[in-house]
Amino acid sequence: MATRRGASSSKASSPKAASPRGASFDAKLARIRALEGEPAVVAAAELKRFLGEASGYLVGEAARVVAALELSALSGDVADAVLRFVAAPAEADKGCFGKRAMVEALMALDASAPEAYLAGLRHVQKEPAYGGPVDTAPSLRGMCAHALVEMDFRWAALEIAPMLHDAEPVARVAAAEALARTGEVLCAAALHVKVLSGDAEPEVLGACYKGLLALDARRYVPLVAEALRQGEELAAIALGESRLPEALGVLEEAVAGAATGKGTGRFLEGVMLGVALLRSDEGNAFLVRCVAEGSEAKAAAALGALALHRHDGRLVGHAREAVAQRGSAKLRGVLEEKLGAA
């Protein structure tokens, strides 16, 4: 059991220990937070009691302190608390703040808690809101998907794949990211099917593209390239983050298409950012050429992308030279805005 460094040197400065049943909410919260400054061996017993509180927020704070003190011996109590609050009415943990903190604590402790994670993965919590009830649990579901992958749960992919069709975009994005995180190439099949079925939220498809390229880059470059040709900006970001050499040619083609009217504005900026994300000498040289030789719109988009490398003095110097040679007041303004004054 780990001990906490820098234990409190003066007990008078910390709230006094109080019975969880006899103290107010604020007093309990203050005591839980004060326990973070106590030696782990001293705090453990009190934290165990606080993990039995009726308030999800208090239990979540207690779980956070358990993780901070590295009290792995209490991971079972934290997991039990997750199960308890998943089964409780929404009023016990409004907004799922407590349950998310509990799952974060379990992950920080490297806990093997599949029952808790599976319960969180399946949890839907409808709460009253203007315009009708809203689900406050999608982030919790996403966290639990990642937790199952992190603990190498045998059936993680089978449990997570249906979340690609979750009602909430946040959960769908998390499902795509978690499937990619498995490193199992067969998970690409689920992401591929999701891409083919489509999604109203670009961020979901963007996460699928990133996952496909992470799991089997060369197989799925053509699919992501076709999405880019159809004007999907986040396909450019996925290609850039893949760092694949062959992605540059696809992005250059998209820039050429944008310059001839197939796409402008935000799309062009997204494609240029994809080039910058490659973080390659060839990609950076292409951006500088766009500044020097492209239309003003293309040059401005390239300057915006080069802002990603604003700390590379040599590269920024090349961009400044290109702008100076063009003599464009508009580009000088973009240069100062994106890369700073000389």
Condensed to tens digits (0 to 9), the pLDDT of residues 138-169 reads: 999 999 999 999 999 999 999 999 999 999 99
What are the residues whose beta carbons fall under 8 Å from the beta carbon of 218, sequence distance 6 or more? 244, 246
pLDDT of residue 265: 84
Condensed to tens digits (0 to 9), the pLDDT of residues 281-290 reads: 999 999 999 9
Asked if pLDDT for residue 82 goes beyond 80, the answer is yes
Condensed to tens digits (0 to 9), the pLDDT of residues 212-234 reads: 999 999 899 999 999 999 999 99
Asked if pLDDT for residue 15 goes beyond 80, the answer is no
pLDDT of residue 218: 87
What are the residues whose beta carbons fall under 8 Å from the beta carbon of 153, sequence distance 6 or more? 114, 117, 159
Mean pLDDT for the stretch of residues 121-144: 98
Mean pLDDT for the stretch of residues 18-37: 86
Condensed to tens digits (0 to 9), the pLDDT of residues 258-270 reads: 855 544 789 999 9
The mean of the pLDDT values for the chain is: 93
pLDDT of residue 3: 39
Question: In which band, very low, low, confident or very high, does the pLDDT at 257 lie, cut at 50, 70 and 90?
Answer: confident
The 3-state secondary structure of 19-64 reads CCCCCCHHHHHHHHHHHHHCCHHHHHHHHHHHCCCCCHHHHHHHHH
Question: In which band, very low, low, confident or very high, does the pLDDT at 35 lie, cut at 50, 70 and 90?
Answer: very high
Condensed to tens digits (0 to 9), the pLDDT of residues 164-199 reads: 999 999 999 999 999 999 999 999 999 999 999 999
pTM for this entry: 0.88
Across 1-10, 28-37, 200-209, 222-231, least confident range: 1-10
What angle, 0 to 180 degrees and rounded to 10, lies between the N-to-C axes of helices 329-339 and 296-306?
10
Asked if pLDDT for residue 277 goes beyond 70, the answer is yes
pLDDT of residue 10: 37
